[in-house]
Each structure stands twice: as C-alpha cells, then as structure tokens.
Amino acid sequence: MDTYSDIKYVKGVGPKMAESLNKCGIFNVLDLLLYFPRDYENISVRKSILECAKAEKVIIECTVLSVLGDIRLKNNKTLSTIIFCQGDNEFKGKWFNQTYAKNSFKISSKYLITGKVDKFKEEITIMNPKIVKNTSMDENEIIATYPLKNNITNNFFNKIISDVLCNIIITENLPKGIIEKYSFCSLNDAIRSIHSPKSLELLNEAKRRLKFQELFTYSLKILMLKEFIKSHNNGIQFKMAKELTTLKAILPYNLTKAQSKVVREILIDQKKDIGMNRLLQGDVGSGKTIVAIITMFNVVKNGYQAAMMAPTEILAKQHYEEIKNILKEFSLNIQILSGSTTAKNKQLIKQDLKSGTIDIIVGTHALIEDNVEFQNLGMIVTDEQHRFGVSQRNRFSNKGKNIDILVMTATPIPRTLSLYLYGDLDVSIIDELPPGRQKIDTSYESMDNSSKVYGFALEQINKGRQVYIVCPLVEENEEMKLSSVAMLYEKLKKDQFKYIEVGMVYGKMPSKLKNEIMDKFKAGEIKALVSTTVIEVGVNVPNATVMIIENAERFGLAQLHQLRGRVGRGEHKSYCILLANIKNNIVRKRLGILIKSNDGFFIAEEDLKTRGAGELFGIRQHGESGLILSDVIDDISILKLANSEAKRLIQSDDACDVMVKNEILQKIELTSSYICFN
C-alpha cells in the first residue's frame, strides 16, 4: 500500500464504503490521511451515569445487556432501544428512525458511547448514542472526531485511519533547513498525531507544523500569482475616453474627493500595459458602485466588454438597474444574467456576449459558468469580494486575457491581513461618505420589548417610511429558540402589521418571487420586509429608515454594520434597533461598539478581537481559501513566519524560474484534493 492506493483496497473498506468515502472527497490513501479531524474528545473524563444531567452531552463506559425489538410509533417514527448497564445501574439508549444504529452493538460487549442525556422521573436515556470506540482498542485518551456523512461512523473512520497508519511511512516534504530552524516534528509524526494524538503536547506540535505548512503553501501561491501578474505586461491599454467628461457632467451628484481619487487610480491602471488587479475598499454607502460604473464605461468606450459580478441576485439586479439609469444617454447594450433569467434569454445573452453585441453584463455566479464566453472582455468587477475566494477570482479572470480586475468590498480588511489574503492586489480606499449623510440612531433593546419596537416601526411606516426586519433563520428551530423569518412574518401579519403590506425574502426562495418582492419593496408597495441576511450587502432603498435585527447577538459586528448600512440612505432620519439578550454583559459590550461607532474599520478591528477571521470574511464556510487547519487571525504569528519563509524561497537562487517554483510548490503542498468536500 502506498499513499496513492485506491481507498477501496484499504482493509475494511470495500466498494460500497469506498463510494461513501468518495463523497467526502476521499479517493486514495493520501486523501484519507489529509482528511483532518474537526475536533477531539478527551475521553479520560468519563462519567458515571448517575451524575449525568438532563440534556448534557456525555461519554459513558457501558456494557450491552439486551437489544429490544423496534417499535412503530403513532407519529410514524420507528423507535429502536438498547438496554445498557454501567455497574449495577441500567439505562436505555434510544434512536428514532435509525434502525441500523443498534447493529453496531453486540450483547455483553463493552463500549464507550457518547450522546445526549434525557431523564424522565427515574429513567435515564441516552439519545442517539454513538460509539466513541470499542474499549478493546488501544488506550488513546484523545479521540479525533471528523466531519463525516453518508452513514460513515466516526468509530469506523478512526479505525481505518489507524490501520493505514500502522502500514505506512510518510516521507518528509518540507525543506530540511525550515524543519531545523523551527524545530518542527516530521511529517510522518505530524500526520500520526493529528489523527490519533498520544498527548495534547504532541497534538499541538502536529498542528503547529501542519498549519505552518498550509500557510506556507498559501503564501507561496499568492506570491507567485503576484509575480505572474507583474511579469505579464501585456495588459490592454485603455485610453481615457472623451465621453468621460460628458458622463461626469450628467451624474446626479458630484463625486466625493475620495471617489475621484479612486476613479483616477483605476483609470491610470487601465492605461498601463499591465493588467489591473485592484481591491477597492470603502465603507457601506461610500459610493463604490458609481466608481465601477464610470470605469466600466471607459472600457466600453474603448471598444471592449465589461462584466460585473455580485454575490446575490438581489444585488445584481439593483446594479443592473443603476447602471442602466446612469448610462441611459449612451445607448449601450446592458444585460443581466442570473438564476432567474429564462433559459431562452440565457441562450440569447450568451450568444450576444460571444458575438460582442453586449457592452456590459451584470450577473451572479452564473457568470463564471464555463460556457459563458466573451468576444473581447476588458474588465471585470466583483462586488462584495469578501464573499468570493481566491479560486473564484482566478476562474473569473480566466474569461479573457490580461483583463483588468477590480474587486470591491465594504468589509474593511486590516492592512496586515489584506497583505496576506489579497497580497496579489493593489488597494484603493474610499475613506469618506457622500455629504449630507445623517448618523443612524443605533440602540439595543431586550427581546421582551419587541412590541414597543414594532410599535415604533409602525409609526415610521405611517409617516410614509419603510422598515427592514432581519432574522437569523428561515424556519423556526425549536431547540435554539431563535426568531425565524417565517414565524415573524406570520406574527406581524396577525398582530402589529395587520393593516399594512408585509413581504418576506430569503436566499433559497425561487428567484422570480424574490425579485417580485424586492421590486415591490423598492416601489414602496411593501412597507415592511422580513428577511434573512440576503439583504446584507448593497441593497439600496433610500426610503427605508428602520432596520430591526432580531437575535442581534447571533451576528458578527461587521455584519451588523453592513445591515445597518441598508438604512440612512436618503434624506430621512434613520434608526437601527438591535433586539438581543441584553441581560448578558458580553452581548451588551459587543453591541455597544456599534452604538458608539459608525466606522467600519474600527468595528471590524473590534470584531476581529472576538471572532475568527474565517467567520468575519466568510472564508471558512466556503472553504475557498483552502485553509483547513489554520485561522488567519488566531494563527497570525505562524502566518507571518510562513510568509517570510515563502518570500525568501521565492527570491532565492534555487527558485530562479517559474517551473522550478511550481515544482517546489507541488512538492510542499499537502495536495488540494481534500479541499472540496462540501
């Protein structure tokens, strides 16, 4: 067996299980070894069944006494039961609709199980018990838990990994100098310890090395991308179109100083024979869209096409309308391509993009589908870039040769971090808001006071204004007791908002319906809009003056700041009301930051102190950065080291040309096949 052996030949796997493992992105032994645990259970802390509290998640050592027959319940569920004992004390393990679960247990055998405790009078039950391990296995006290699916059990997964580890030696792949300099453990030890750590110290050593390796590879990639861009000086040289003066004259407002400065920076980039790669940062409402429109217009007037990509359909549509409006005098062909475009129109648009009759195309990620082709794409703008990762960025830029790329974000990225995350980009910043903006009155209220808050919202509606209400969930979740869009919508319709038009939107809703509702809200027909965070970015309805956020403690500060930015866009005084559990000191303190400050940069820095960067930038969820083990904030010190070593390597004589660099990278990278296992 070697690292590239097919997973189906691993002992105990077989073709059926191999299929399930394939679904987790595991095809060969190497993939298996690089499928890192999500967490660890310290099983040295075992409990006596008598000490367990209701709803507690516990690890229990026990023996199987008997397996009862399945029972069909009235609600159509099937109940399976096992009687366990721990010493003289008996308790039950129960499963609903998982009749297969009991099959892993043998009568009279001893197990270590984990599950949630339920107590009714004297009877103790563990719900959905899972085997942590058969106690006959060797005595590791720290057990890895993996993000698994398709009925692969954690116990089984640990077992095949431990079998593989017994039969394989992993060769070192980091330069010797680096290993010695930082006293890293070997790759062989690191992989062993990450899966079945003999002690916490060894686990930490393994993590330190593997994180370094991950961040080292990541830094190398960014640096190489940057080098590649700089060395390919055959970008398109756009002239300054004379029509820019006309456009400037008919804009509905004067650009702010900061906007003009940024437009200039972009136009200068466009003139150069190097492709542009620029990140445009500007707080919510600072007016980034118009910058994109002006510079795309310049590209179009040079005879090229421009494309703009937005993270949500709602936002794409809004941009589309604004672009059409601002450029209406110039008879350009401007189109939108998104999930709700009919198949027939899609076909037409694709044809027209290919033949070059479309000047500007706006869209969602439908734009990066492989079969969208352009005649002569000159510039790409991606809005709210923090939602797209490095690989998406690359895929989009492959649509044309040396096209200019502008990425825009309202999530301010602290400089140190942007260097590492977007090290291949130049940065422009809009650091002022258009004149006349009023400060948004921000406050927090206890959830118990929500009727008062909705009363205030109703007053505003009666004055002709509109209201956003944001909830963390789409549907009710009994367990978490959080507000949901569906529930709140029903409640408001019955109660306080009985006589007014209320709408509801969420991400998974059919696009057509979503568009209809947003259109009605924009037109002022819908007065109150209940939604998830789909409206978080970019949506612009100046008549909306109240933003109510339910369970505000569930959101990150940067995200709340974004949401708040949906109001205060017109002439009327605006309000942001955060409904939360304010009895909690920490919650009050965090929300207090928003009340105190309106500066996105400050807020993001504060947020960074309490939350990981992955959450802040939405990288973690999308797995886009490819970082599995590391968190760019928590591990910033390792990131710094990794970055400096990567720089040294790139600049050294040993890595003189691109081929050599690529070879080095390939050797060091812990392959990429494990990155996509969504």
Q: Which residues are near ligand ADP by CB under 6 A?
A: 253-256, 259, 282, 284-290, 410, 434, 538, 540, 569
- The listed partner (Mg ion, ligand ADP, none) that binds 284, CB under 5 to 8 Å by sort, is ligand ADP
The H-or-E segment that residue 367 falls in is: none
CB of 254 to ligand ADP, least distance (A): 6
Q: Which does 317 bind (CB under 5 to 8 A by kind): ligand ADP, Mg ion, none?
A: none
The smaller minimum CB distance to Mg ion, of residues 158 and 286, is found at: 286
How many residues appear in the chain? 678
Closest distance between Mg ion and the C-beta of residue 268, in Å?
A: 23
Dist. CA 236–CA 271, nearest whole Å: 8
538 contributes a contact to Mg ion by CB under 5 A: yes
Q: Which is nearer to ligand ADP, 133 or 569 (CB)?
A: 569
Q: Between residues 289 and 335, which has the closer beta carbon with respect to Mg ion?
A: 289
Tokens of 429: 């910043």
Helix, strand, coil shares, percent, the chain, to 5: 40, 20, 40
Taking the alpha carbons of 215, 221, 224, 226 in that order, is the dihedral positive or negative? negative
Partners of residue 335 on adjacent β-strands: 361
Q: Which stretch binds Mg ion (CB under 5 A): 242-250, 362-370, 536-544, 598-606?
A: 536-544
* Least distance (Å) between residue 406 CB and ligand ADP: 13
Which residue minimizes CB distance to Mg ion?
Answer: 538
Pick the piece of the chain touching Mg ion (CB under 5 A) from 429-437, 447-455, 473-481, 534-542. 534-542
Binds 253, which of ligand ADP, Mg ion, none (CB < 5 to 8 A, cut-off by type)?
A: ligand ADP
Q: How far apart are CA 561 and CA 555, in angstroms?
A: 10
Shortest Cβ 79–ligand ADP spacing (Å): 53
| Contacted by 282, from ligand ADP, Mg ion, none: CB < 5 to 8 Å by type | ligand ADP
CA distance 127 to 298: 64
Q: Using CB atoms within 10 Å of the CB of residue 53, give its burial: 0 to 12 exposed, 13 to 18 middle, 19+ buried.
A: exposed
Q: Which lies closer to ligand ADP via its Cβ, residue 10 or residue 534? A: 534
CB closer to ligand ADP, 210 vs 604: 604
Nearer to Mg ion, 196 or 364 (CB): 364
Instruction: Count, in order, helices (H) and strands (E) of the chain.
Output: 23, 21
Query: 244 contacts which partner out of Mg ion, ligand ADP, none, CB within 5 to 8 A by kind?
Result: none
Buried b / exposed e along 94-131 (16+ C-beta atoms within 10 A): bbeeeeebbeebeeeeebbbbbebbeeeeebbbeebbb
- Cβ atoms of 553 and 580 within 8 Å: the answer is yes
Can you tell me the distance from the alpha carbon of 288 to that of 263, in angstroms, rounded to the nearest whole number? 10
**Residues 90, 63: Cα–Cα separation, whole Å:** 10
By CB under 5 A, the count of residues binding Mg ion is 1
Nearer to ligand ADP, 349 or 425 (CB): 425
Binding partner of 286, given ligand ADP, Mg ion, none, CB within 5-8 angstroms per partner class:
ligand ADP
CB of 288 to Mg ion, least distance (A): 5
CB 675 within 8 A of CB 623: yes
| Closest distance of CB 583 from ligand ADP, Å | 34
For ligand ADP, the closer of residues 4 and 253 by Cβ is 253
CB 126 within 8 A of CB 55: no
Q: With respect to ligand ADP, which residue has the nearer C-beta, 450 or 574?
A: 574
Helices 187-195, 154-166: inter-axial angle, 10-degree rounding? 150
Amino acid letter, 299: V
Joined tokens for residue 60: 């229990």
How far from the centroid of its chain's Cα atoms is residue 368's Cα?
Answer: 18
Cβ proximity to ligand ADP: between 34 and 290 the closer is 290
CB-CB contact of 203 with 143 (8 Å): no
For residue 525, the 8-state DSSP code is S
> d(Cα 425, Cα 419) in Å, to the nearest integer?
8
From the CB of 82, what's the least distance to ligand ADP, in Å? Answer: 57
* Residue 289 C-beta: closest distance to Mg ion, Å: 5
Distance CA 618, CA 389 (A): 9
Which residue has the CB atom at the shortest distance from ligand ADP? 287
- For ligand ADP, the closer CB: 154 or 466: 466
Q: At 61, phi and psi to the nearest 5?
A: -95, 130
Selection from Mg ion, ligand ADP, none that 148 binds (CB < 5 to 8 A by kind) is none
Q: Which range binds Mg ion by CB under 5 A, 89-97, 531-539, 582-590, 620-628?
A: 531-539
Q: Which does residue 434 bind out of ligand ADP, Mg ion, none, counting CB within 5 to 8 angstroms by kind?
A: ligand ADP
Rounded to whole angstroms, how far apart are CA atoms 486 and 460?
23
User: How many Cα neighbours within 13 Å face the side chain of 166?
Assistant: 9
Give which of ligand ADP, Mg ion, none residue 115 binds (C-beta under 5 to 8 Å, depending on kind). none
Q: Does 614 bind Mg ion (CB under 5 A)?
A: no
CA distance 541 to 563: 13
CB of 290 to Mg ion, least distance (A): 10
Contacting positions for Mg ion (CB under 5 A): 538
